[in-house]
Amino acid sequence: MSDTRLTRYSHGAGCACKLGPAELAQVLRSVHGHPATEHPDLLIGLSVADDSGVYALGDGRALVQTVDIFTPVVDEPHDYGRIAAANALSDIYAMGGNPLTALTFLAWPRDELPFQVAGEVLRGGLDVMAQAGCTVVGGHSVDAPEPMFGYSVTGLVDASSAVAISGACSGDILILTKPLGIGIVTTAIKRGFCPPDLASTAIEQMAALNSISGAALIPGNAHAATDVTGFGLLGHLREMCEASGVAATIDSGRVPVLDGVRDLLAQGAWAGGSKRNLESVGDFVEARDVDIRVLADAQTSGGLLVALDPSDVDGYLAAVPGAVTIGEVSEGRGIRVLS
């Protein structure tokens, strides 16, 4: 199994394989307003580009539900499973919720890869689910041309406290809890020229749960939050701005980036999904004399992007190791990137 390079069997890497924001908007346009997407107890659904659906149970609690599946982002099966689990759980944490149960999805090319390798992928996922205190109750598997793996996760949150993407207010401070550059690293891994130390650092970051960042949202009075994944920082910040009716300014010099990522970018480690991200925000972002490719880089299992009142920032930063302030929210429309 140590000789199996899983990324050889996929057309892309991790969340970079997602449909782009513009493509997804075209798909969802055809189902807008469908009766199956509406219910009096549905607090957050398809009408807002949020991380999870939130459905009130009527007793003060609400279900938080999400699903995340992607192709191999790294070569080692156990690490692939760990990362897929952490990525799926992140959507629950981004709403301030606690994960409860999960269902597994596995697509596997039966004639190309041994089932023992698939077992290692599942074991990696279970290890992280156990760490999160989330019970895996079943799942589904299919034969497919390339591997895909992930989970549907259900959690619980106080119905009145769920943190949506749509609550950012003018004057809020923006916080990011993990460095960027994952998509660049995983592209270099797939192409065979990523330094081992950088690959190892990125793998551990992707497998790290956003549980602490999520647990601090509600006590920290977060106005809005989302996890930074396939659409990149700029794409997910755009969703937050549009859902909240605000604008934002980002200080690019304050945005944390994994050491060595810019060298890989200079060598051409730039994913197709990240290119689509950059194109999709072109009419929304003002950036003069700033290379914003890293800000559009498609992340897998990235950190949380949080909007907080200035008075609550110090408390959140103290509670979440590695979190940094990267900008602020203002009135208007669009994202301005400062050098």
In whole angstroms, how far apart are CA 7 and each of 12, 176, 194, 240, 253? Answer: 8, 28, 13, 32, 32
Q: What is the residue-wise DSSP string for 30-59?
A: TTTT-GGG--TTEEE-TTS--SSEEEE-SS
Q: How far, in Å, CA of 131 to CA of 135, rounded?
A: 10
Phi (first) and psi of residue 332, to 5 degrees: 115, -155
> Is 134 part of the annotated catalytic residue set?
no
Quick check: helix, strand or coil at residue 3? coil
Q: How far, in Å, CA of 80 to CA of 82, rounded?
A: 6
Q: In terms of DSSP H, where are the helices of the chain?
A: 21-29, 77-93, 115-132, 182-191, 196-207, 211-215, 232-244, 261-266, 272-280, 310-319
Q: How far, in Å, CA of 87 to CA of 290, rounded?
A: 29
> Which residues touch 3 (CB under 8 Å, ≥6 apart)?
none
Q: How far, in Å, CA of 141 to CA of 121, rounded?
A: 13
Which listed residue (15, 17, 134, 194) is catalytic?
15
Query: What is the bridge-based pairing of β-strands 61-70 and 53-56?
Result: antiparallel
Question: 181, 188, 153: which is closest to 13 by C-alpha?
Answer: 188
Tokens of 196: 């081992």
Phi (first) and psi of residue 62, to 5 degrees: -140, 145
Question: 243, 262, 264: which is closest to 333 by C-alpha?
Answer: 243
Q: Which residues are catalytic?
A: 15
